[in-house]
Amino acid sequence: MQTLLVTGGAGFIGTNFVHYWRRHHGDDRIIVLDALTYAGVAANVAGLDGVTLVEGDIRDTDLVERLLRDEDVRTLVHFAAESHVDRSISGPDAFVSTNVIGTHSLLKAARTVWLGGDGRGHRFHHVSTDEVYGSLEPEDPAFSETTPYAPNSPYSASKAASDHLVRAYHHTYGLDVTTSNCSNNYGPYQFPEKLIPLFLINCLHGRPLPIYGDGMNVRDWLHVEDHCRGIEKVLEVGEPGETYNIGGGEEVPNLVIIDRICEAVDRAFASDPALAERFPDAPAASGKNSASLKTFVEDRAGHDRRYAIDERKARECLGYEPSRDFETGLAQTLDWYLQNESWWRPLLPPGK
């Protein structure tokens, strides 16, 4: 039995990790530290057996030190981050503050408590993104752990900076750290500002599906539970100081993803007539195609063209591989959102 501190555990990936860990490591205790900003939902983890939610800021170093010391935490899994690229373009300050200064605060606390303590084992796992590597051309090889960093947005730059800090605390101070760089996650509990939940919900309400540029920006798609499995592998057998890329093996253009979303929604309405009563504004409610909602808009600034993950190191060193393809994962995700309208509806902007 051990106690984990999970930062950002009331957000999308953190919530899924907490649920996953409780299912597979039921004897462990989890302390969730979350500031409960717009994308953190206390109800995601409230009431879970063995889980304690602490509302607080990762930049509060004294608080983190107290939690590590008083709860005898030996594993810290760091999800907390500002993560929406569009928001980073319009307001980069919050990204630097949370992602860089916040990560440094956690590292300082871990160094003080763990390296100044009794010498027992510890692990600081830092969850990062493939966006730190920049953008790929169509013929370029996929991102590997040795790909030079070339972040192109304030978001990815802030994550790159935090990655470097984590690495430095291992090489300078001897802190036991690991880092994972993941591809685009999707699945339950994702805040409805990201592509898949946003477009699913817009299809249900007959709202436009805004497609940046020509829609041919390519991403690798990773179901969030597969991501959690990858992190579990890193915690169990990952080597201190190492970085592991975790991908889904689904490199697909955004426009194709959007078409699949539309097709999945249309199939759901065709098989369940009750959906037309719940969502009468959806094109599918009257037998029309959701694809009619597609609208091309001006591309966003600095929009990376292609991401792709080379996950051979994770496969060979950790025994990791994704467990589902995108078609299966998308169907499961759509079903979750249809079954959990009471979760996502309060998160929509007023009047939506």
Judge contact between 165 and 227, C-beta under 8 A: no
Q: What is the pLDDT of residue 295?
A: 96
For the stretch 210-228, pLDDT in tens is 999 999 999 999 999 999 9
pTM for the full predicted model = 0.95
**DSSP line for 217-283:** -EEEEEEHHHHHHHHHHHHHHPPTT-EEEE--S-EEEHHHHHHHHHHHHHHHHHH-THHHHH-TTSG
Q: What is the pLDDT of residue 300?
A: 86
Q: What is the pLDDT of residue 84?
A: 85
For residues 115-122, average pLDDT: 81
Q: What percent of the chain has pLDDT over 70?
A: 99
Q: In this model, does residue 117 exceed pLDDT 90?
A: no
For residues 92-109, average pLDDT: 97
Q: What is the pLDDT of residue 119?
A: 66
Q: What is the pLDDT of residue 264?
A: 95
Q: What is the pLDDT of residue 351?
A: 63
Rounded CA separation 199/212 (Å): 13
For the stretch 263-283, pLDDT in tens is 999 999 999 999 999 999 999
Q: What is the pLDDT of residue 302?
A: 81
Q: What is the pLDDT of residue 113?
A: 96
Q: What is the pLDDT of residue 250?
A: 87
Q: In this model, does residue 334 exceed pLDDT 80?
A: yes
For residues 146-168, average pLDDT: 97
Rounded CA separation 9/99 (Å): 15
Q: In this model, does residue 301 exceed pLDDT 90?
A: no
Total H helices, total E strands in the chain? 13, 12
For the stretch 4-47, pLDDT in tens is 999 999 999 999 999 999 999 999 999 999 999 988 999 999 88
For residues 194-210, average pLDDT: 96
Report the catalytic residues: 130-131, 155
Q: In this model, does residue 350 exceed pLDDT 80?
A: no
Least confident of 109-113, 157-161, 327-331: 327-331
Please list, residue by residue across 340-350, b when 16 or more beta carbons sit within 10 angstroms of its beta carbon and e when fewer do.
Answer: eeebbeeeeee
Q: What is the pLDDT of residue 340?
A: 96
Token readout for 205 is 């309400």
Q: What percent of the chain has pLDDT over 90?
A: 91
The rounded mean pLDDT for the chain is 95
Q: What is the pLDDT of residue 177?
A: 98
Highest-confidence range of 86-90, 167-171, 215-219, by mean pLDDT? 167-171
Strands, E assignment, the chain: 3-7, 29-34, 51-55, 75-78, 123-129, 177-182, 184-186, 209-212, 218-223, 243-246, 251-253, 294-297
Token readout for 1 is 């039995």
Rounded CA separation 163/127 (Å): 9
